[in-house]
Amino acid sequence: MKRLLLILTLALCGLSLHAQGFSTMRRNAEKLARVLYYVDNYYVDTLDMDRMIDKMIEGLMDQLDPHSAYIPRSEVEATNEQLEGSFEGVGIEYTMLTDTLIIQSVIAGGPAEAVGIHAGDRILAVDGEPIAGVGMKTNDIRNRLRGPKGTTVTVTVSRGELLQDFVIRRDKIPVESIDAAYNPEPGIVYIRLGRFAQRSAEEFLEALARTAPTRPDGIIIDLRGNGGGFMHVATILADMFLEKGQTIVRTEGGEIGQEDVATGLGLYKEGPLVLIVDENSASASEILAGALQDWDRAVIVGRRTFGKGLVQRQYKLPDGSEMRLTVARYHTPSGRVVQSPYQKGHRDAYYQQARQRYAHGESFSLDSIALPDSLKYKTLRLGRTVYGGGGILPDVFVPYDTTGINPFMIRVVSGGLLSEYSYDYIDKHRKELEVKDMAAFLKKWDKMGTEAMEGLLAYCREKGVEPEEGELEACEALLTTRLKALLARGALGNDGYWEVINREEDPAFQKALEVIKNWPEVF
């Protein structure tokens, strides 16, 4: 405990505070240190003080805004790697089904691909230790697969009837933030951005160069499900589409106040541009959408975004844990506040808002959203009406599509039967699914689609899941599309999956494509 008192004293000495603030902080720190000392030394039972202090910090964070957070040391690496852009491991994406690790995809150019591991393979053991059927936690499996660059790990793989050991030399693995990038039609580019990570701007440019060697005829950026990430990456992406001097975002709060302005060096400052958003698009997604909407540079398609307009700064703590503390609020160029209302200390209620929106009908009708005149703003070029008060309201509303979703569909998908069957099918038809592009895959599907669907229904029956009267007819088209998309992912990676979903299932994507094609009529 003396060490704790010393740490608190040193921390206070390192703070640059006004005299009154310093005195208050010192008094509170001494009070806290004394409480911890008494509990640690005199409490009747033995305590795990490290855990107790973690809980105290978490309790403090719970009394602040909903986005300030404490990250224990054990979770820091996993939390940060998605944004920092890399980790050291074998280079696979996987899921756990019926207590078995199934490889969803193999990262191109990674060490797993180099030794011949494929999507659909099942990993049964790591370095001779069984990981299938033993109830091992996902974190424990991940820790066994990962390790320093240059070290090796042996994985035992089941592929159909074949059991084989692969020795993989670990390497640095990039964490891609682009989930898909392809051409839905000649000249038009679709890019699905999953998060705003350290390399997202570079990845975006690489995806654009791959899909549009010359100037594109239109760009669709899909931000659905993108909960944000690094704010400065959002401003870099916005800068690609705006004119010199146009404001991207304003941040205000405490001692922080700044305005990010476009440099004018962007590569696509005019031309058809659409962003697709939904209720899970947040933070950096809203910075990008708000800036492009306010300057009438892009059409926003979809549903109202989450409404996270608070800026966090990450601070490292002495034991390796970290704290994300809200330090500012941001405003769109027109002055809109994006942050949804919240009460300090009511974090759970705040995160229930998406469910409440759904219950109130907002996912299905724009008329269900209260839009008082006090929340009206005007775009900066054309003077169109836009709204503040929480989230970005799209220019073109597309309701949530529930067509085909019924109890049988839910049992098949949520119960893991669709995924399990698709992996089995890919494993048994690996040669047939070796195709180079979507056109080739679609030809294969024309031949195997009916058989594949019949096999899925037979598999469901084997597992005791059968449709009630009328259920199959209602969901068959949707179920067929989902199976087709999973097989396309096995053949062509994530690009194949999203191309099938967008082409056959997604009304928001279809509306975005329509806007691109009719661009002169939009503004």
Residues taking part in catalysis = 283, 294, 308
Please name which of 504, 508, 492, 515 lies closest in space to residue 224, comparing C-alpha atoms.
508
Q: How far is CA 476 from CA 409, 425, 461, 485, 523, in A?
A: 8, 18, 15, 14, 39
Please, what is the angle between helix 407-414 and helix 417-428, to 10°? 60
Phi, psi of 291 (to 5 degrees): -65, -45
Q: Are 272 and 519 in contact (CB under 8 A)?
A: yes
Structure tokens at 427: 């494993």
Residues 493, 108: Cα–Cα separation, whole Å: 10
| Residue 484 amino acid letter | K
**Where is 402: in which H helix or E strand?**
none
What are the residue ranges of helices labelled H in 212-368? Answer: 231-239, 284-294, 347-351, 353-359
Q: What's the chain's Rg over C-alpha atoms?
A: 26
CA dihedral (90, 95, 481, 490) positive or negative: positive
As a whole number of angstroms, the distance between CA 421 and CA 19 comes to: 67
Cα separation, 301 vs 305, whole angstroms: 11
* Rounded Cα–Cα distance for residues 352 and 277 (Å): 19
State how far the Cα of 417 lies from the Cα of 425, in Å rounded to an integer.
12
Let me know: does 256 contact 201? Beta carbons within 8 Å: no
